[in-house]
Amino acid sequence: MVGEHHFILDLAIVLGSSALGGFIANRLRQPVLLGYLLSGLLVGPFGFGLLNDLDNIKALAEIGVAFLLFALGVEFSLAELKRFKDIAIQGSILQIGLTIIVVAVSSLLLGWVESFTQGIFLGAILSLSSTAVVLKTLTERGETNTVHGQVMLAILIAQDLALGLMLAILPALNDPQNLGVTLTIAILKVAIFFSAAFVAGYWLIPPLMKTIARTENSELFLLTVIALCLGVALITAKLGLSIEMGAFVAGLAIAEIDYSDQALAKILPLRDTFASLFFASIGMLIDPVILWQNIGAIIGLVVLVMLGKALIIFPIILKFGYSLKTATTASLGLNQIGEFSFVLALVALNLGAIARDDYLLLLGTTAITLVLTPIGLKFAPRLADKLLRIPAIAKYFRQRQSDTAFSLPDGINGHIVVAGYGRVGQVVVNILRDRDYPVLVIENSEAAIQRLRHEGIPYIFGDGDSELVLEKARLETAKALAIALPDPNSTRLLLKHALEFAPNLNIVARSHTNSEIDLLTQLGAKEVVQPEFEAALEMGASMLGSLGEARLSIDEAIRTIRTNRYLSIRPKLTRHSLKKDVSDAADHIHNEWVEIPNPSPLHGMTLAEANIRNLTGVTVMTVQRGNKTLYYPKGERRLKSGDRVLVVGQRAEVSVFQDLIRGHLSLNAGELQWTSLPEDSPLIGTTPAQLEMKYDIKVEALRRHGHLYRPVESEMTLEQEDYLLILGQRDRVNRISQVH
């Protein structure tokens, strides 16, 4: 009885500390599994030594691993894999194979391992990435349906599938003298087991689960699922394979039946509970003294692993025709060591393929790479943008664009650009084409491009927020831009870049969350549409109509809600939420805090009167006055000397804004207006000096291919689609606008 109480006490300590550690990690915006690892370290023998029986905890942890892989098998989707089958299968084989070869050879040459077999084990451990951390990060950022998100998930699914083969084959490498025989036996066992699993999954398991489901007894259904998971895992263990492989295959069998969602829903609480025990048990093996003594080696390993994996993954993604942004994001998102590497590492440790000290170094390295993953994903788009600003790289990617990368009618003009051809984008395109508007679609999915080719719709293949792509879209001559991208960050960047190409462009953007409505409006969108609110408005309108309300009254109510940006129906954001939204937006665009000097021509002017975005290109996101901070200031907000404003925009745009607030760009010298030069403009080929002499105006700034030039060189030759900011008397400014 005493022993039983000790076990219950140990279990309560592990689960309680794991819950606390997971909560702290979540509040710090870190993966919860890091909290589990830390809690295991603290209560384990190298921490406070609170546990009495580690063997029982480890036994429960093995059940946690089984449930973890079982749930993975249930969630595994062949349909998702088919969408990106080339990069998922061929790309993953390249990535895993190259990682294993590079690690095995380099570790053997550097003396980190004693044999090539140990090097292969180490390479296999390092080749896997973290499905849990990457998926959680993509979900939080709203990027699971983006191209880079789908590419990463496809590779992760293939990696997880490869784990089962690794668990079957790698142990055979530990017997080099009989390697051929051992490998043959292992492969035969795998083949026999998978054949039997296929037969059971097709003919035995579906009728069994159907019979159990008909009882409508949830407890019986759950017990059957658990018995199936652990039973198959036990069979593979008896065959000399791993329980992890058996649990994964059992999950695959369940995934193909009608009750897979119900089985997954039942098993998830058990999976999460026992998985926390698994990660905590890993933490119990960590000796902080050894980690501290080898902190330099661990940091070095982190750099080598993350940089090395990124350099392997980056060219592979590019090889399959994806953009620089997708390759950069995927390589920085998959360059950590995954949670299932713990499973391989434990196998290697038990087989003596790696020493205990090396195992502890791997644990420390893995934990740090998992922490750094969300940071890498956050800064990947900015890194890709900076890389594309390097002339040699920009030139390479321009040349890399094949003739099939875009389909533009000659002299396209007055068109509507639609960024994104998903469910929303397709509806927008159909509406526009039904009314005979010329449409140009920007899309980075090859499947969508094939549909556009088939339907004869003009398109550009590439990332909508890429300046190289926007150069081809001829935004300077477009009537409007509709942004229907699935990625919030890409939506913001595209909106900002589009206004750099065409400051007067009419832009309608799709909002992914309530908080984005104000943000996108502040960045310059004329209209922001929130699909959930629009669905609610249509339901409400239908309901009012059925209750006898007049159609004019209903339309007026709906119009008022839309005009006020849904303010009357959306929940009010807290100051913390507003601050976070502004910070997230500013993270992806160059931003600076600027103080309004004294004196300043902007003192006493409203933002609408100052016309800051139109004149300079920057957007005012925040105004600080004393201890008060105003996020997303509206047009009627008056500026005063001493105000601190957060502006986002290119460095050149911020420089122009600083000229404006210091009085170097006069607002009182006449009318300021942006005007574009179409292909038939007689001003093409002239210089600003000639323009100023002939029309008695001044060219204050020029935008060309998204870049801002100020001051403008007097002998600079004007080109088609240039945007000019001209200053002068109203009649002369209007005359220039009419000339072209």
Token duo for residue 156:
């992760």
Global model pTM greater than 0.95: no
Choosing from 628, 655, 682, the residue where a domain stops is: 655
Are residues 367 and 265 located together in one domain of the fold? yes
Answer for the pair 677, 740: CB distance below 8 angstroms, yes or no: yes
Of 279-283, 391-395, 703-707, 713-717, highest mean pLDDT: 713-717
Would residue 147 count as lying in a domain? yes
What does the pLDDT average to over 278-283?
79
Q: Which has the closest alpha carbon to 279: 352, 233, 338, 232?
A: 338
Would residue 468 count as lying in a domain? yes
Answer for the pair 172, 179: CB distance below 8 angstroms, yes or no: yes
CA distance 122 to 103: 7
Are residues 516 and 587 located together in one domain of the fold? no
pLDDT digits (tens, 9 = 90+) for 658-694: 888 887 766 555 677 788 887 778 888 888 888 888 8
Q: How confident is the model at residue 439 (pLDDT cuts 50, 70, 90)?
A: very high
User: CA distances (Å), 721 to each of 93, 413, 483, 677, 685, in order?
Assistant: 46, 11, 22, 5, 12
Are residues 145 and 176 located together in one domain of the fold? yes
Q: Which CATH number characterizes residue 460's domain?
A: 3.40.50.720
pLDDT of residue 481: 94
What does the pLDDT average to over 646-658?
87
Would residue 294 count as lying in a domain? no
399 burial level (CB within 10 Å; 0-12, 13-18, 19+) = exposed
Token duo for residue 444:
């980075």
Would residue 11 count as lying in a domain? no
**Residues constituting the chain:** 740
592 burial level (CB within 10 Å; 0-12, 13-18, 19+) = middle
Answer for the pair 394, 468: CB distance below 8 angstroms, yes or no: yes
Answer for the pair 136, 343: CB distance below 8 angstroms, yes or no: no
Range of the domain at 415: 403-530
CB within 8 A of 590, min separation 6: which ones?
648, 649, 650, 651, 654
What does the pLDDT average to over 645-657?
87
CA distance 127 to 95: 7
Alpha helices in 200-335 (DSSP H): 205-214, 218-238, 243-255, 260-284, 288-293, 295-319, 324-333
Are residues 602 and 735 located together in one domain of the fold? no
What does the pLDDT average to over 63-74?
77
Q: What is the DSSP string of 523-592?
A: HT-SEEE-HHHHHHHHHHHHHHHHTT--HHHHHHHHHHHHHTTTTTTSPPPPHHHHHHHHHHHHHTS-EE
Are residues 188 and 316 located together in one domain of the fold? yes
CA distance 577 to 574: 5
- Dihedral of the alpha carbons of 27, 33, 37, 38, in degrees to the nearest 10: 0
Are residues 96 and 182 located together in one domain of the fold? yes
Are residues 272 and 173 located together in one domain of the fold? yes
Are residues 117 and 80 located together in one domain of the fold? yes
Asked whether the predicted pLDDT for residue 562 surpasses 70, the reply is yes
pLDDT of residue 177: 67
Are residues 146 and 274 located together in one domain of the fold? yes
Are residues 593 and 677 located together in one domain of the fold? no
* Segment (H or E) for 594: strand 591-595
Instruction: Return the higher-pLDDT residue of 454 and 97.
Output: 97
pLDDT of residue 665: 67
- The residues facing 442 across adjacent strands are 419, 460
Would residue 155 count as lying in a domain? yes
Asked whether the predicted pLDDT for residue 401 surpasses 70, the reply is no
Of 22-36, 58-72, 118-132, highest mean pLDDT: 118-132
- Dihedral of the alpha carbons of 10, 12, 14, 16, in degrees to the nearest 10: -150
Would residue 30 count as lying in a domain? no
Answer for the pair 320, 86: CB distance below 8 angstroms, yes or no: yes
Asked whether the predicted pLDDT for residue 696 surpasses 60, the reply is yes
Would residue 47 count as lying in a domain? no
Helix and strand totals (H; E) in the chain: 33, 15
Are residues 145 and 99 located together in one domain of the fold? yes
**Least confident stretch, 142-156, 356-370, 597-611, 655-669:** 655-669
Averaged pLDDT of the chain: 82
pLDDT of residue 405: 60
pLDDT of residue 27: 81
Would residue 558 count as lying in a domain? no
Are residues 114 and 200 located together in one domain of the fold? yes
Token duo for residue 261:
């969602």
CA distance 431 to 425: 10
pLDDT of residue 358: 83
- The residues facing 592 across adjacent strands are 647
User: CA distances (Å), 481 to each of 385, 612, 723, in order?
Assistant: 21, 21, 17
Q: How confident is the model at residue 1 (pLDDT cuts 50, 70, 90)?
A: very low
Choosing from 655, 677, 697, the residue where a domain stops is: 655
CA distance 368 to 376: 12
Answer for the pair 159, 309: CB distance below 8 angstroms, yes or no: no
Amino acid at 390: I
Choosing from 655, 685, 705, the residue where a domain stops is: 655
pLDDT digits (tens, 9 = 90+) for 100-134: 999 999 988 888 888 888 888 899 999 999 877 78
Total structural domains within the chain? 4
Answer for the pair 344, 125: CB distance below 8 angstroms, yes or no: yes
What does the pLDDT average to over 248-263?
76
Q: Which CATH number characterizes residue 594's domain?
A: 3.30.70.1450
Token duo for residue 326:
């997708």
3-state SS, residue 606: strand
3-state SS, residue 267: helix
pLDDT above 70 as % of the chain: 91
CA distance 418 to 498: 12
